[in-house]
């Protein structure tokens, strides 16, 4: 009946309309067959063209159809000194931010493009100069990190250091390049003005001592204007010692800065130790651990005793004059002396005393010095050097620390207390 109805309709319609009706029926039939086939193959009740399980064209995935995400760049930034900063101190650190600190590179260059030596702390994101920068100079900082595409993400910033101030502190070393000294010689640095305590730790950090072979040691402040360095035990014989003092531009007080840097390259000689006993009235001289001479001595009498303690030879004079008349116009004396070796600031020496040779080894008659004979005074003088050690024991007076280079007159634990880094 339905088919007859269709035919009747076709017969009653005009010829053109009848052709279009046949075409629509054929297309509908094809679509219906395709729909049934797709549903049967997919095992799904939902047609694929409505977003079903097989909605992705063959040979592709959903991820490949989505737009690729742009990789995130690792950002970097200089945080200090501020961009275009002026009057920056010479030892200022460069601080930066980075999302990839392990792969971040930092360079600092001067106006001529020369790279400045420094170290990068990638844990703290800080670049530190190896030495003070130049006064009134413009520097460029470049911080960079690689990207995933093999490119570089970088940032630059500039700053200018401070002008050279008028308030500069002179820093000097007692020792100089090429000197050879005894195993007890302290390294001595002096300052042109007092260094306040709050700046002393930074001063110590800038004074680096390197010994070959390596030896443990520390700085100790003797006063506000003087600091010494000694190893834990006497310097090893024949050591090489190098120290660099990088204080140019370092703040040494409120508004005061170090004037300059310096280095000293020196050496330690053979080991010579002199031991004086008041009990035996003898000096034992050891070189490299071996006794090479025993010398009769006369020490200070009861009214002017010699100091008991450990001292070092501070200076030597083959011939000099002891003059105490300025200190004591009544009882002072003025006497020519041979083979003098100073061991305290207060005026105690090892020296030849021909007038006391008859009692040397038996009785004390000096004004506090270690008297030896003319011949043995010369023998000893020809073999000692500045920094050689002398220890006196058994006298009525103890050596006061600070009365000479008394760095060895205290224990290592006591000595370390004079450092602001310990």
Number of DSSP helices (H) and strands (E) in the chain, helices first: 6, 29
One domain, residues 344 and 406? yes
Q: Final residue of a domain: which of 236, 269, 302?
A: 269
Q: In this structure, what are the phi and psi dihedrals at residue 23, rounded to the nearest 5 degrees?
A: -65, -45
C-alpha distances in angstroms, 203 versus 242, 263, 289, 370, 406? 17, 15, 36, 38, 22
Is the domain of 123 the same as that of 156?
yes
Residue at 193 is within a domain: yes
Residues 236 and 123 in one domain: no
Each of the 422 residues of the chain gets a pLDDT tens digit; together they read: 444 443 333 444 444 444 444 434 343 443 344 433 333 334 444 433 333 444 444 444 444 455 554 545 558 899 999 999 999 999 999 999 998 999 999 999 999 999 999 999 999 999 999 989 999 999 999 999 988 777 888 999 999 999 999 999 999 999 999 999 999 999 999 999 999 999 999 999 999 999 999 999 999 999 999 999 999 999 999 999 999 999 999 999 999 999 999 999 999 999 999 999 999 999 999 999 999 999 999 999 999 999 999 999 999 999 999 988 888 888 788 899 999 999 999 999 999 999 999 999 999 999 999 999 999 999 999 999 999 999 999 999 999 999 999 999 999 999 999 999 98
* 133, 161, 189 - which closes a domain: 161
Classify residue 91: in a domain, yes or no.
yes
Distance CA(305)–CA(137), nearest Å, equals: 60
Q: Are residues 402 and 305 in the same domain?
A: yes
Same domain, residue pair 223 and 344? no
- Residues 6+ away with beta carbon under 8 Å from 41: none
Say if residue 148 is in the same domain as residue 235: no
Shared domain for 408 and 278, answered yes or no, is yes
Instruction: Answer for the pair 137, 116: CB distance below 8 angstroms, yes or no.
Output: no
Give which of 114, 234, 222, 99 is closest to 155, Cα–Cα: 99
Q: What is the pLDDT of residue 73?
A: 52
131 and 172 in a single domain? The answer is no
- 207 and 81, same domain (yes or no): no
Provide the annotated active-site residues: 351, 369
> What percentage of the chain's residues is helix, strand, coil (to nearest 5)?
20, 40, 45
Co-location of 265 and 368 in the same domain: no
User: Whole-model pTM?
Assistant: 0.77
| Residue 341 counted as domain residue | yes
Q: Is the peptide bond before 81 cis (omega within 30 degrees of 0)?
A: yes
Shared-domain flag, residues 278 and 398 = yes
- Of 243, 269, 295, which closes a domain? 269
Token pair 């038996």 is found at 362
- Specify the CATH number for the domain of residue 320: 2.40.440.10
Indicate the number of domains in the chain: 3
Q: Same structural domain for residues 242 and 315? A: no
Provide the token pair at 414.
């006591």
CA–CA distance, 4 with 49 (Å, rounded to integer): 35
Does residue 24 lie in a domain region? Answer: no
Question: Does residue 35 lie in a domain region?
Answer: no
**Closest by alpha carbon to 409, among 332, 343, 349?**
343
Residue range of the domain that includes 113: 76-161
> What is the spatial distance between Cα 39 and Cα 35, in angstroms, rounded to a whole number?
6
| C-alpha–C-alpha distance, residues 122 and 125, integer Å | 5
Q: Give the pLDDT of residue 187.
A: 98
How open is the CA angle 360-363-364, to the nearest 5 degrees?
95
């Amino acid at each position: 009946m339905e088919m007859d109805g269709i035919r009747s309709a076709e017969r009653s319609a005009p010829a053109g309309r009848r052709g279009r009706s046949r075409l629509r029926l054929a297309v509908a039939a094809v679509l219906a067959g395709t729909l049934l086939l797709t549903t049967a193959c997919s095992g799904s009740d939902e047609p694929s063209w409505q977003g079903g399980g097989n909605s992705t064209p063959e040979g592709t995935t959903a991820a490949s159809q989505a737009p690729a995400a742009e990789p995130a760049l690792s950002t970097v930034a200089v945080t200090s000194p501020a961009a275009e900063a002026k009057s920056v101190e010479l030892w200022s650190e460069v601080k930066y931010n980075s999302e990839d600190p392990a792969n971040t590179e930092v360079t600092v260059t001067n106006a001529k493009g020369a790279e400045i030596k420094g170290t990068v702390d990638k844990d703290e994101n800080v670049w530190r100069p190896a030495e003070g920068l130049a006064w009134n100079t413009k520097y460029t900082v470049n911080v960079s990190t690689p990207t995933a595409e093999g490119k570089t993400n970088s940032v630059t910033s500039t700053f200018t250091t401070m002008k050279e101030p008028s308030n500069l502190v002179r820093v000097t070393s007692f020792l100089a390049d090429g000197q050879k000294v005894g195993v007890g010689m302290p390294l001595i640095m002096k300052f042109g003005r007092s260094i306040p305590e709050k700046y002393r730790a930074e001063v110590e950090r800038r004074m680096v001592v390197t010994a070959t072979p390596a030896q443990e040691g520390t700085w100790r402040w003797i006063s506000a204007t003087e600091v010494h360095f000694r190893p834990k035990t006497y310097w090893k014989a024949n050591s090489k010692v190098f120290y660099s003092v990088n204080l140019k531009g370092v703040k040494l007080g409120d508004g005061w800065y170090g004037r300059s840097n310096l280095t000293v390259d020196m050496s330690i000689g053979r080991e010579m130790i002199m031991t004086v006993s008041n009990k035996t009235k003898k000096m034992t001289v050891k070189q490299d651990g071996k006794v090479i001479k025993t010398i009769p001595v006369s020490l200070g009498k009861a009214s002017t005793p010699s100091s008991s303690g450990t001292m070092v030879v501070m200076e030597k004079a083959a011939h000099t004059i002891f003059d105490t008349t300025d200190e004591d116009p009544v009882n002072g004396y003025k006497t020519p002396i041979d083979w003098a070796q100073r061991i305290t600031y207060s005026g105690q020496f090892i020296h030849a005393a021909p007038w006391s040779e008859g009692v040397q080894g038996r009785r004390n008659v000096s004004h506090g010095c270690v008297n030896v004979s003319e011949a043995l005074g010369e023998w000893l003088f020809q073999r000692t050097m500045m920094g050689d050690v002398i220890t006196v024991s058994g006298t009525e007076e103890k050596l006061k620390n600070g009365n000479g280079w008394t760095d060895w007159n205290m224990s290592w634990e006591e000595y370390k207390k004079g450092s602001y880094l310990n």
